[in-house]
Structure 1
């Protein structure tokens, strides 16, 4: 059974007497013990989705099943009990400045009516695990951004939830602290077995720790794939925009500063991974078939220690050699697709 199951979730708001649909028929299944990323541009519905999963917002329609309980249709005591199986890390921490580190971590347990002895034991366990014992009696003003984020995560785990929701946990942190927080979240999953939903706009966070990622666009999930598939084979326009990959020939021409390509040219989109990304395939194809291949845009990197590249290439030459070069690239593991050409895209 999945840890989280969303079925046909809809949520609308009225803005200036105009209905705005923030979530439109969202369905998503998150397996237990995984880290699920949710990405999208501002206004795509990411935070609204997180608030609906946590029942900070009531959905207009659909089911929100978390650890076996449909939060969308619970109220009162039943809802309060079900929500103890769910922890939330807010973007702005939402810690209380009037409380010490230990008192902030204890807050959910106090609200749940847990006894003092049990609270002290659980708080001590969490402070030890997060390396915060030395900050037990410190106040927020005495903590760094990374320490505050660890306190927020510890507080979210106080009631031993099955699911942790994390909204932009690294948005205000420097690169070193970001890496530390992401490592902490991965440890939470690996050592505690907690399912995590990570809402973020940072692709490096997705690349570092997520197992799967859903792409939200205008309130709809347009792509739900493994992390390697997102970076190597993005299928939606929204994913390509998030990755900085061109969606149209006009956009490519804008990038390279040319309103019109030469008549004997074609734009090609290439995706390479693994062995194909380590070979000089473009150099070989240009030499073997007597054409020019010029990279005008793209990204290269490593994903879980596997090299990859997403490239936009201008191929210039006669139609026959270009077609043979494309065939050569595909036979050697590259995914190649023409973006356009001057004769209707049939040259490749």
Structure 2
């Protein structure tokens, strides 16, 4: 599991989550073991941590784990979602403002950087931050000082920055939407959270732990999943990652009761996804048998999907390795596959 405040800060044991712990915080796959090792190393440092991963992979929980295992664990952990706050208010939310600084500023307000003094400031969806504010954030990182909106003098704060994004930050830099100097200032200790579909048996481990927890919370008696349910869980692409899996498990627990979760207890949308899984893999197999004559008459979008799926299949299902072969970022492939899944669901 991700380390918690009770864990030994020097001897973390990521795979020994006690029963009832947060099901988002576990995983025995080698991919997650690398994540846990990186968290342990990052926690000992004051360096800025940059977390990447698709939506629903647990980026905020990862940030909390870094904070909880650090020497700042007794200080505040302050999360701020840069995508959820209007751009014209984000500066005030980060750095604070003085009374009368702008219309509606009826009182002094400490910003997130001040509230996080002595602890950790988590900037989620950092790539959504306006370029002007990126400049001020860079100055803050260089000087450890903040200047609230309307203030004439800067003040010193002691804050560690952890940030996250579901985008490819280097692609954002190339497109001019994210400052390169800020990227290198923030991207000191990178941690990439793999999508659930690449984590092997973690999907079953997480689902079982979630079933125990949610059954206890809802007063149900569930203890296991039917074999065909677990087989479906292994095969599904899970575009919503761990967040989607937990939603599915809670749905089954809340609306049903018994000892075993069966397929008929799962959301209808998941049934449609499960029924489409074999053809989805077949598309890649079919593409491997096609010659140039077979591609003529297909749209470029169809050909692109076939080539991408075949490359992923040849790379053993690894999207990062396929991305290297295709010379694109992994997040580009993830976004395309999510779009294809949504299109298929709409049919």
> TM class by shorter-chain length?
0.3 to 0.5
TM-score computed with the length of structure 2 as normaliser: 0.33
TM-score computed with the length of structure 1 as normaliser: 0.33
Compare the two structures and name the one with the higher helix fraction.
2
Compare the two structures and name the one with the higher strand fraction.
1
Q: Which has the larger radius of gyration?
A: 1
